[in-house]
Amino acid sequence: MNIVVCVKYVPDATADRKFEDDNTVDRVGVDGLLSELDEYAVEQALQIKDKQADDTEVTVLSVGPENATDAVRKALQMGADKGVHVVDDAIAGSDALATSLVLAEAIKKIPHDLVVCGMASTDGGMGVVPAMLSERLGVPGVTLGSEISVEGETVKIRRDGDASTDTIEGSLPLVLSVTDQSGEARYPSFKGIMAAKKKPVETWSLSDLGVDAGSVGAGAAWSVVESTDARPPRTAGEIVTDEDGSGAKALVDFLASKKFI
Amino acid sequence: MTYELSAEHEAFRKSVREFAEAEIAPHAAEWDRKHHFPSDVVQKMGSLGLMGLTAPEEYGGAGLSGEDGGFTSLCLAIEEIGRVDQSMGITLEAAVGLGINPILTFGTEEQKQAWLPDLVAGRTLAGFGLTEPGAGSDAGATKTKAELVDGPDGQEWVVNGSKQFITNSGADITSLVTVTARTGTRADGRAEISTIIVPSDTPGFIAEPAYDKLGWHASDTHPLTFTDARVPEANLLGERGRGFAQFLATLDDGRVAIAALAVGCIQACLDMSLQYAGERTTFGVPIGAKQGVAFQIADLEVMLRASRLLTYQAAAMKDAGRPMKEFKQAAAVAKLYATESAVTATRIATQVFGGYGFMEEYPVARFYRDAKVLEIGEGTSEVQRMLIARGKGLPVE
Ligand SMILES: Cc1cc2nc3c(=O)[nH]c(=O)nc-3n(C[C@H](O)[C@H](O)[C@H](O)COP(=O)(O)OP(=O)(O)OC[C@H]3O[C@@H](n4cnc5c(N)ncnc54)[C@H](O)[C@@H]3O)c2cc1C
């Protein structure tokens, strides 16, 4: 089986994150890493590979700036077999539609039975790329799986919703997205890190994919971030003191006013 | 000439650090307080391949060459684990240095096949029983005896005696201990010492209740007793009569690994002190603005850099297969300097924290208690000085 895992290089959430002058996320001048939510996707792909115990191959695919190779490299260190990095200046500022276009065109050039994605990126956080990919590739989209099994041509997931737990099945080829409940991602071992040195990473540009530069990037985006403001600093909490038995009511009122209940 | 770790070593350091921060750091204080040995987390270190960094692939190890820096990577792992928890650091150090190494280096093929896959994967642990109540620095004074006698299925070793302070020897995942024992008298009248593999479930072998230690509370340490403990003749580790040479060789690698554990301790002291010196204010300014505090932290930085260089230089010598004599000297120097620095570093860090440093609420107190034994285990500071002086040709006793 051939598995493609889509991974995103995102700014490190523990470091300083900034926006560019055009309100797009600064992805070059800040420390970045493989999106944590995509680590779950890599993990699931590797678990499927381990269980198949055949010549299943896992290819990691990332669309992103120069240093996005770090994200690809990390996935290779975890155990993926090879990498593809689509990098092109014209891609900067792309929205989810354009990103999914580039990903889909790249995936078409890679042998694939199963495409695995994380549930969302840790920066944009829209979570729409997997569904867009399934549409663009014309294959089923089985999304938000928190437990995944593959048997023959069938992929089965458990999806935990607020009101129900669903079991969903689809047949290959398909696009799968997995949640942060699907199982902790492995840490790269030293053996994996050494092995990754020798694994191939191909770099493709938009012209390699036959994608018109005008259909991606900030200029082609369907939505624009008009302004950004830093979140105001956290305010001090409110302490409810129960002196005359009215404490419970004060608590309930507070929770209700914040729409927690 | 510059001395730097490879990009792969740095990537590995990051990986182990993430593991240590997520899986160990949040629990270290509680394990310490409860004297709890977290077997499951030890096994997780195994899953990350930490026990197999210096073992060949055929036993499940990473199969690295000296050029890849396998031993250096082990030291990095010990340093990073030790930076958040010295107990888990020593558990890893002993698992490889004292548990796996003797079998890997001296074991027969059958012994390796039988024990290594589980040890290397970290599913099980092995202890190394050298020290006895009457034989510590003077390990050759071993009294424990092993006699070869006829058994129902061929010859057997019958082991009698006791061992003191043995790490990883009584955990629920301990599968065996290798013990040094007298197996006879040599032609020159001195004791013939050999090493015997004693599986944990051997009748007559008992890991007595764990010690109540000053530090390393989450590390598993027991006295061991052997009362007519019988094991097959084939459990002799390597050659008969080579026990003394075997444990001396085992301890050289271990010294560098202990130095790495000390480096982790110094790094922790520096990190904690630096942060606190910026936060705590007295007389209207952060205490770090006072030279009395700032200069002590500068000293920590010096100790850290010097200890780290000595340690990784010794590790690189091991990986490069440099002559044994040269490596032994480097190992003793690294162990002595890094461990004594670690003890000083914990004293400084505790001082920087003032009264809070004396409270168990802050990890500094735990590091303070944990550091002392670094100057004792795997050869005391005095023994290192003796070795170093002998290395310089002095006829020290
Ligand atoms: C927590 C812990 C874990 C341990 N784990 C293990 C283990 O897994 N396996 C194992 O076999 N052992 C283990 N040990 C034992 C450890 O290696 C010994 O404690 C150490 O070698 C010192 O031996 P001793 O305690 O008998 O002290 P002694 O040898 O009695 O030393 C007492 C003092 O005399 C000094 N001294 C001794 N001889 C000389 C000399 N020739 N010149 C100058 N000074 C000298 C020493 O430096 C020391 O200061 C462990 C110890 C501890 C505390």
Please, where in chain B does CATH 1.20.140.10 lie? 245-391
The pair of structure tokens assigned to B152 is: 């129902």
Interface of B with A in 48-67 (CB under 8 A): 48-49, 52-53, 62-64
Encode pLDDT of A27-53 as tens digits.
777 888 999 999 999 999 999 999 997
ipTM for the predicted complex comes to 0.89
Contact residues, chain A, for B70 at CB < 8 Å: 190
Q: How far does the CA of residue B148 sit from the closest CA of chain A (Å)?
A: 42
Q: Count CB atoms within 10 A of the CB of residue B290.
A: 14
Determine, yes or no, domain membership for A235: no
Total count of residues recorded for chain A? 261
Ligand 1 centroid–CA B137 distance in Å is: 5
> Does B301 score more than 80 pLDDT?
yes
Please, where in chain B does CATH 2.40.110.10 lie? 127-241
Encode pLDDT of A52-90 as tens digits.
978 999 999 999 999 999 999 999 999 999 999 999 999
In this prediction, residue B397 has a pLDDT band, given cuts at 50, 70 and 90, of confident
Contact residues, chain A, for B52 at CB < 8 Å: 191
Rounded to whole angstroms, the Cα distance separating B364 from B342 reads 12
Segment (H or E) for A3: strand A2-6
Determine, yes or no, domain membership for A227: no
Helix (H, G, I), strand (E, B) or coil at B376: coil
Task: Indicate which CATH number applies to the domain containing A211.
Answer: 3.40.50.620
Phi/psi at B108 (5° precision):
-80, 165
Query: How high is the pLDDT of residue B16?
Result: 98
Determine, yes or no, domain membership for A87: yes
Encode pLDDT of B231-283 as tens digits.
999 999 999 999 988 988 888 889 999 999 999 999 999 999 999 999 999 99
Determine, yes or no, domain membership for A231: no
Q: Tell me which of A21-30, A184-193, B105-114, B311-320 is least confident.
A: A21-30
Q: How would you classify residue A74: left for phi > 0, otherwise alpha for psi between -120 and 50, otherwise beta? A: alpha
- Please give the residue that has the higher pLDDT: either A12 or A171: A171
B199-B43-B216 Cα angle (round to 5): 85
State the number of CA atoms in the 13 A half-sphere of A161 facing the CB.
Answer: 7
Query: How high is the pLDDT of residue A54?
Result: 87
Structural domain for A182, as ranges: 2-220
User: Mean pLDDT, to the nearest integer, of B83-112?
Assistant: 97
The pair of structure tokens assigned to B181 is: 């024992």
Determine, yes or no, domain membership for A148: yes
Angstrom distances, CA of residue B80 to CA of B75, B99, B101, B340:
9, 20, 21, 19
User: Mean pLDDT, to the nearest integer, of A119-140?
Assistant: 93
pLDDT averaged over every residue in chain B: 96
Query: How high is the pLDDT of residue B1?
Result: 56
Determine, yes or no, domain membership for A230: no
> Does B74 score more than 80 pLDDT?
yes
Helix (H, G, I), strand (E, B) or coil at B329: helix
Angstrom distances, CA of residue B257 to CA of A7, B35, B81, B250, B284:
37, 23, 12, 11, 43
Q: Does the distance separating the beta carbons of A188 and B11 come in below 8 Å? A: yes
State the number of CA atoms in the 13 A half-sphere of B209 facing the CB.
Answer: 3
- Cis? peptide before A173, omega within 30° of 0: yes
Query: How high is the pLDDT of residue B340?
Result: 98
Is B7-125 CATH 3.40.390.10? no
> Does A19 score more than 60 pLDDT?
yes
Segment (H or E) for B207: strand B205-207
Of B11, B70, B73, the CB nearest to A77: B11
User: Mean pLDDT, to the nearest integer, of B146-170?
Assistant: 96
Query: How high is the pLDDT of residue B156?
Result: 97
Amino acid (one-letter) located at B323 = P
Q: What is the percent of chain B with per-residue pLDDT over 90, rounded to a whole number? A: 93
Q: Does any CB of chain A come closer than 8 Å to the CB of residue B357?
A: no
Q: How far does the CA of residue B307 sit from the closest CA of chain A (Å)?
A: 23
In this prediction, residue B2 has a pLDDT band, given cuts at 50, 70 and 90, of low
Contact A86, A32 (CB under 8 A): no
Query: How high is the pLDDT of residue A169?
Result: 95
User: Mean pLDDT, to the nearest integer, of B177-206?
Assistant: 96
Rounded to whole angstroms, the Cα distance separating A124 from A23 reads 12
CATH of domain B245-391: 1.20.140.10
**Total tally of structural domains belonging to chain A:** 1
| Atom nearest to B213 CA in ligand 1 | 1
User: Mean pLDDT, to the nearest integer, of B299-328?
Assistant: 96
Q: Testing the interface with B: which of A76, A190, A199 to mutate, by most B Cβ within 10 A? A: A190
pLDDT averaged over every residue in chain A: 93
The overall pTM is greater than 0.95 = no
Determine, yes or no, domain membership for A172: yes
Amino acid (one-letter) located at B205 = F
Q: Give domain B127-241's CATH superfamily.
A: Butyryl-CoA Dehydrogenase, subunit A, domain 2 (2.40.110.10)
Amino acid (one-letter) located at B393 = G
State the number of CA atoms in the 13 A half-sphere of B124 facing the CB.
Answer: 15
> Does B358 score more than 70 pLDDT?
yes
In this prediction, residue A239 has a pLDDT band, given cuts at 50, 70 and 90, of confident
